[in-house]
Structure 1
Amino acid sequence: MSLPKEPEQDDDYSYLFWGGEGSTVRVLARCSTCQLPAGHEEAPKCTHWAARCPAEATLSVADVRRLEDLPEAAHAVTNPFACELETGHAGRHFTLGQSQDFDGGERVTLWWIAWDATGYEITEGAACDVVADPADEDFAVCHAIAGHPGAHFWI
């Protein structure tokens, strides 16, 4: 799978869209108050990223290349990475570094970046499996690593 060009501006972001014919990655401008594409429909949870931890991790060029070159890589890799946990969380910082979508998304491997003051590591792990409202067709899923501390962050 070829990845899209690197985002051109700080507010550009790579989005993965799923459909009946597989997945597509597109680079779009990001909403100024949330992680959704700019111009998205009104979303009650739009301001939730305001409570996101401000910590960032910058990966080495070799590690960025390693994430970009994974077979079936689903995202363009942008550096630095921002923590996806809530402000004031305990322990290490976490963010999704890359996902590999095999068999049209039927089998997914998630690669997380974990860091603290001593450095970072890239590790495979599961995503949080909490959903906001499974009865709603457009339910949101938590975008953090499984077992994360603090509040859920919905997408």
Structure 2
Amino acid sequence: MNSPHECATTVVLNEDESERLAQVPDPAHEPVDALPCELQAGHPGPHMAMAQVSGADTAWWLRWSATDRALIAVDEETGYCEASGPAVDSQNRDECWLCQLPADHFGAHSWQMPNTTTGRIPSEANQQKLIDLANELMERQ
């Protein structure tokens, strides 16, 4: 059985979106100029892409179509999809992954699609957290 793939559509952030995302407190990664749609290829309705994460609580998603664009905050209150299952690109089929898409997404769940999006560079603060965590783990050994 073939697994579904992500939509191939990409959007370039406009100046207002870039400025708003630059103001997000405690950003998880460095800003980007363009975002790939993270929904299943052939999905109906608008495209969606995670634009930034603020701390551990809120993710900012860009939803866009030919006629509309909006940055949407997704958190515990507004909700992520609650589906879970084995990731198609995981070696451990017993491992269970939560869907990383907003609750109202169209198409396949994130764990049903191969992870084809490029990795984002962690923000300077998160890079330091990763270094501190790695050093702590090394000291324990």
Report the TM range for the smaller structure's normalisation. 0.5 to 0.7
TM-score by length of 2: 0.62
Indicate the residue corresponding to 2:81 in structure 1: 128
Distance 2:48 2:10 in 1: 9
1:74 to 25, 28, 35: 28
**Which residues in structure 2 correspond to 1:51-66 (within 5 Å)?**
51-66=5-20
Indicate the residue corresponding to 1:95 in structure 2: 49
Gaps (5+ residues) in structure 2? 87-92, 116-141
Aligned length: 101
Cα deviation, 1:67-121, whole Å, max 9, x if unaligned, reads 13211111222121110000110100111111112xxx3xx11211000001311
Is the 8 Å Cα contact of residues 57 and 120 (structure 1) preserved in structure 2? no
Cα deviation, 1:101-153, whole Å, max 9, x if unaligned, reads 2xxx3xx11211000001311111232222215xx884222121212111111
Runs (4 or more) in structure 1 with deviation over 6 Å come to none
Equivalent residue of 1:96, what SS? strand
Name whichever structure is richer in strand by fraction.
1
CA RMSD of the aligned region, Å? 2.3
Distance 2:58 2:65 in 1: 23
Indicate the residue corresponding to 2:59 in structure 1: 110
2:98 to 118, 133, 141: 141
Equivalent residue of 2:84, what SS? coil
- Opposite residue 108 of structure 2, the aligned amino acid is A
- Opposite residue 58 of structure 2, the aligned amino acid is T
Gaps (5+ residues) in structure 1? 1-46
- Opposite residue 109 of structure 2, the aligned amino acid is H
Distance 2:94 2:28 in 1: 24
Distance 2:16 2:45 in 1: 26
Name whichever structure is richer in helix by fraction.
2
